[in-house]
Amino acid sequence: MPQRLAQWLAEAYLPGSPIGGLRDTDLDRMGALLNGWEMTATGSEGYAKAEVTLGGVDTNALSSRTMEAKSVPGLYFIGEAVDVTGWLGGYNFQWAWSSGWVAGEVA
């Protein structure tokens, strides 16, 4: 939980005592508040931050060794253009670079 949110919740909903001194009812109340928390999205970061996670050229249509289209020799697809979904955390870059590297070597 972000520190500023924790600070705000503690000040708004808990008596000003050390956590060890809180009553069970205080903790239950805070637990119910957090578990029942409802958030409403008020907007997005816009197109510049948009990420596509699905879709693209079917991997079955490509050679997994060269990224060359099976039905069109000399045509290669790599990275984001291929229907490969990576978790957040660098996997998409890795996929883009690795698939680009093999296709570039072969082409």
Ligand X SMILES: Cc1cc2nc3c(=O)[nH]c(=O)nc-3n(C[C@H](O)[C@H](O)[C@H](O)COP(=O)(O)OP(=O)(O)OC[C@H]3O[C@@H](n4cnc5c(N)ncnc54)[C@H](O)[C@@H]3O)c2cc1C
The footprint of ligand X (CB under 6 A) covers 49, 51, 78-80, 90-93, 96
In whole angstroms, how large is the CA radius of gyration of the chain?
A: 25
Encoded tokens for 106? 């072969």
Whose tokens are 């879709």? That residue is: 55
| Distance between CA atoms of residues 9 and 30, nearest Å | 9
Q: Would you say 10 or 106 has its CB closer to ligand X? A: 106
User: Smallest gap, in angstroms, from Cβ of residue 74 to ligand X?
Assistant: 18
Q: Would you say 22 or 96 has its CB closer to ligand X? A: 96
Q: Would you say 66 or 92 has its CB closer to ligand X? A: 92
